[in-house]
Chain A
Amino acid sequence: MFTVIKPGLETSVQDYPGRIGFRNQGFPPSGPMDSWSFRLANLLVGNEPGAAALECQYMGPTLRFSSAAIIAITGADMQATLDGETVPLWQSLYVQPGQALEMKFARHGIRAYIAFAGGIDSPPWLGSQSTFNKAGVGGIEGHALKEGQEVKLHAVEIDKTMAGRSVIESARPELGDGKHWNIQVVLGPNDDWLDERGIDTFLTSNWKLSGKSDRTGFRLEGPELTFSQKAIHKAPEHGSEPSNIIDQGYPVGGINLAGETLIILVNDGPSMGGFINPFTVPMSEFWKLGQAKPGAIFNFTAISVDEAQQQGRAIDALCNTKNII
């Protein structure tokens, strides 16, 4: 068990792949934005890759352990210390009862993951422990961590030999400077509502990630896109703006054109609405979104659904105990 001394900035319990199967009732998958780093953190402490762990955003928490634990931190560097001693990332470590883990702002990357041997013990909701903060479900009492909360871990025998293991370098995501990202997208579902020039503008422009981005949506700033005849000459029930469409389901990762603003719908995003989604970011690219700094420049490259699935499988293959030494 540990006590939350400082919660950090919306630190939440997540599991992987999250709350799957309820999108038709409006529930997003939630889960970790950088599921690559998340799964490796769990593997380091001997858990199943999807076990419930913490996602820390921008500013990490301070936690005091009341029982011994094996933990691992992956993803962003939040200057973690254990009783003042620097904690290495991508490595498991043993924590004694009474010790405090303190994290600060993210120096490199944006989201860090803390996994605990046994995993976090919290009641699942619709089959997942993932926090969906906006709806107040999952996690600890439905929300991000709060000061003074006590968080339980599943009881497991703490095996000190599980400490000191690390993820081989070639299996870790490369966070770069966090300010430039090449993100792959698949066209559709509504790419035919843009004209050729609109699609070309999207794929060749620099897009700036707005600071007004969160786990619901990532807002992009850039040029205006142009529309096809389909968007301009349409039945009135679609709505008056070219980007309006009669209400439809939204894919996870859909790049939603809300009026003139592009918003990538991410882990906690809406399941439906009345704007077009000309492009979709495959979930295998979400780790980049999770680690991108506000103000970062995104460039988009179109790939096929097959290529996106291959990339997803390549990351799955890296999240394997054979890459833990």
Chain B
Amino acid sequence: MATDVELQTSGNIWKVLVEAEQSVAAGETLFIMEVMKMEVPHTAPCDGKVSALHINEGDEGLDAGMVAVTLV
């Protein structure tokens, strides 16, 4: 079953730490957002493989709630 990882805040994408098709472990940081000059890491809620990556480093002004990464 697919698991969507949503943006937990509006803001910019500072770093993307995974690539498509990469296997990840629960708790692993997938990407880091930047807002108010603070880093907001987003971690994998479960073990899985990155099936879709909808964000790029440097993306700006994204809305909270957007699906950033899909894990299967």
Contact = CB atoms under 8 A, between A and B. Distances in A.
A9 B40 contact: yes
B1 interface: no
Q: Is the interface of A mostly helix, strand, loop or mixed?
A: loop
Contacts of A9: 9, 35-36, 38, 40
Contacts of B70: none
A311 B68 CA distance: 41
Interface in B1-19: 7-12
Contact of B61 (A10, A104, A105, A293): A293
Nearest to B33: A211
A43 to B, nearest CB: 28
A296 interface: yes
A110 B61 CA distance: 13
Contacts of B35: 9, 58, 211, 294
A293 B10 contact: yes
Q: Name the interface size band of chain B.
A: 10 to 19
Contact of A294 (B8, B38, B61, B65): B61
B38 A107 contact: no
Contacts of B11: 58, 211, 294
B60 interface: yes
Contacts of A104: 8
Nearest to B36: A214
Contacts of A233: none
Interface string B35-51: 11110100000000000
Given A106-B10, A294-B10, A294-B12, A57 B36 contact: yes
Q: Give the 8 A-B CB pairs with smallest separation, nearest first.
A: A295-B61, A105-B64, A214-B36, A211-B12, A58-B9, A293-B10, A211-B11, A105-B8
Contacts of A110: 10
Q: Is the interface of B mostly helix, strand, loop or mixed?
A: loop
Interface string A77-121: 000000000000000000000000000111100100000000000
A300 to B, nearest CB: 19
A296 B35 CA distance: 13
A10 B39 CA distance: 11
A59 interface: yes
B8 A214 contact: no
A59 B65 CA distance: 11
B66 to A, nearest CB: 10
A296 B12 CA distance: 12
A215 B37 CA distance: 10
A177 to B, nearest CB: 10
A294 to B, nearest CB: 5
A310 interface: no
A174 to B, nearest CB: 19
A294 B7 contact: no
Nearest to A78: B64
19 contacts: A9-B9, A9-B35, A10-B38, A58-B10, A59-B8, A105-B7, A107-B64, A110-B10, A211-B34, A211-B60, A211-B61, A212-B37, A214-B37, A215-B36, A293-B63, A294-B60, A294-B61, A295-B60, A296-B61
B26 to A, nearest CB: 19
B35 to A, nearest CB: 6
Contacts of B37: 212, 214
